[in-house]
Structure 1
Amino acid sequence: MDKTITRSEAWELLGEYTKTPALLKHALAVEAVMKHFARLNGEDEEIWGIVGLLHDLDYEKYPDEHCVKAKEIMEGRGISSFYIRAVCSHGYGICSDIKPESALEKTLFTIDELTGLINAVCLMRPSKSVLDLEVKSVKKKFKDKSFAAGVDREVILKGCEMLGIPLENVIAETIGGMRENAEAIGLKGNL
C-alpha cells in the first residue's frame, strides 16, 4: 500500500516520535520554508510542507540511525515512497546515499541547516525575531564558523549550487518562509 499522508496525519506521526519543543519548532520552520519555496516554484504547498514537517521524524529517538529509521517508520505506515525518498534525501552525504534530484528534494537539502542558522541568529538579536531580520545579518554569521558551529555551511552551499540559486537569494526566501510562521516557530520575538 502506497498512500499519501495529510498534514494532520503527518503532525500526529511527528508527535509520536518527537517531544522536544525545539525539534518541533524546527520541523514547523522547515515546513513553512518548504511551503514558501513550493509557491515560488508553482508546486503543491501541502506536499512540500509535509516533507518539511517529517524530515527529522526519527532524529530525536534515533539520532544515530537518522533517515534509516524514518524510512522504516514511514514504510511501516504504508506512506508513499515519494515522501520517504524526499525525507531521506535531505541527509545525502551525511546519513543517506539518496541524492536530492527534484526541486523539492534539493530545496529541503539546502534549507534544513539554513533554518537552524537563521533561528540562532534571531535568538541573538535584541528583538529575538525573524520579522526584522536582514539577509546581511545572516550572511555575517554564516561567515563566522564559531557561531552556531553545528550548522554545516558546506551543505547549505552545496544545496545552493544544486538549486542554481545564489546564497543571498536562498537566505532571503528562507527568512520569508520563516516569517510566515514566526509565532509558531518561536521567532515573533518582541515585535
Structure 2
Amino acid sequence: MREEALEILFKYLKTDYMLKHSYAVEAVMKELAKKLEPEKEEEWAVAGLLHDLDSDITGRVPGVVNDAHAFKSVELLKEEKFGDEKLYRAILGHHDNKGVVRESLMEKAIYAVDPITGFITAIAKSYPDKKLTSVKTKSVIKRMKEKRFAANANRDAMRAIELAGIGFDEFAEISLNAMQNIADILEESE
C-alpha cells in the first residue's frame, strides 16, 4: 500500500519541503495509530503521507485557507483508483474545510498532526544547530504557550488531539519522537 501511495505522491507533489512535511505527518500518524487503532496503522500512515497531495496543484500555502485544498487531493486519488472513503474523509478532515465534520479517530488525529509537524520543525529551526534531535518535549509544550512563536500555527487544531483521547503533552512527545526517528530524511540537505 505504501509503495503505491509513494508513486502517487511523487507524481503530484514535487516541492521538497512539502514532501518532507508529508513524511513527517506519515510518521506521526503511524505512531498515533499504534496507540489508538493498532490494526489500522498502515491506513493512518498512508493518510498522513497523502494528505497534502494537491499542494503544488492548488498552490496551497501553510496557514492560508484555500477552499480547493484537500478536495483536489481526493479527486486525484479517485482518478488514480486509490484509497477508500475512510482515507478521503481523513484527507478532507485535516484541513479547515467548510462543511467537513471530523468523526473517526483518524480524522480527528490528522487534523492535530498536520500543524504540529510544522510547529516542531519551527522549534528545531530556532535552535543554533537546527536539529530535530535537539528539541525536547518540554520545549514543544512551552512554545505552545508562546503566542508570538510560530504565530500562524493552528494551536486549536493541535489541542484538538484531546478529542481523540490523548492529552497534548503526550501528543507532543509522540509527535516529536516520530519526527526524530526520521530526522535524517527531514533534515536532508538543509
Give the deviation of 1:60 after TM superposition: 2.3
Identity of aligned residues (%): 34
Higher mean Cα deviation, 120-129 or 46-55? 120-129
Structure 2: which amino acid aligns with 1:115? T
Question: Could you tell me which of 33, 49, 52 is aligned with 1:56?
Answer: 52
Give the deviation of 1:58 after TM superposition: 0.9
Q: Following superposition, which runs of at least 4 residues in structure 1 exceed 6 angstroms of deviation?
A: none
Determine the structure 2 residue equivalent to 1:3.
Answer: none
Q: Distance in 2 between matches of 1:129 and 1:101?
A: 35
Structure 2: which amino acid aligns with 1:134? K
- Aligned alpha-carbon RMSD (Å): 1.9
Residue 158 of structure 2 is aligned to residue 130 of structure 1? no
Asked whether the 8 Å contact 1:67–1:96 carries over to 2, the reply is: no
Structure 2 segments unaligned to the other structure (5+ residues): 61-65
Question: Could you tell me which of 113, 119, 139 is aligned with 2:115?
Answer: 113
Give the deviation of 1:147 after TM superposition: 1.8
Asked whether the 8 Å contact 2:124–2:134 carries over to 1, the reply is: no
Asked whether the 8 Å contact 1:17–1:58 carries over to 2, the reply is: yes
Determine the structure 2 residue equivalent to 1:45.
Answer: 41
Query: Which structure 2 residues correspond to residues 19-30 of structure 1 after superposition, within 5 A?
Result: 19-30=14-25
| SS in structure 2 of the partner of residue 43 of structure 1 | helix
Determine the structure 1 residue equivalent to 2:162.
Answer: 161
Q: Distance in 2 between matches of 1:122 and 1:32?
A: 17
**What whole-Å deviation, never above 9, does each CA across 1:105-142 have from its counterpart, x for those lacking one?**
21111111011100110111133222232122112222
Higher mean Cα deviation, 118-127 or 136-145? 136-145
Determine the structure 1 residue equivalent to 2:175.
Answer: 174
Structure 1 segments unaligned to the other structure (5+ residues): 1-5
| SS in structure 2 of the partner of residue 61 of structure 1 | helix
Q: Distance in 1 between matches of 2:39 and 2:133?
A: 25
Determine the structure 1 residue equivalent to 2:86.
Answer: 82
Q: Distance in 2 between matches of 1:22 and 1:175?
A: 18
Give the deviation of 1:33 after TM superposition: 0.6
Higher mean Cα deviation, 126-135 or 146-155? 126-135
| TM-score, reference length from structure 2 | 0.87
Structure 2: which amino acid aligns with 1:128? K
How many residues align? The count is 181
Higher mean Cα deviation, 38-47 or 57-66? 38-47
| TM-score, reference length from structure 1 | 0.87
Asked whether the 8 Å contact 1:89–1:97 carries over to 2, the reply is: no
Structure 2: which amino acid aligns with 1:15? F
Give the deviation of 1:73 after TM superposition: 0.9
Q: Distance in 1 between matches of 2:99 and 2:55?
A: 17
Q: Distance in 1 between matches of 2:8 and 2:20?
A: 15
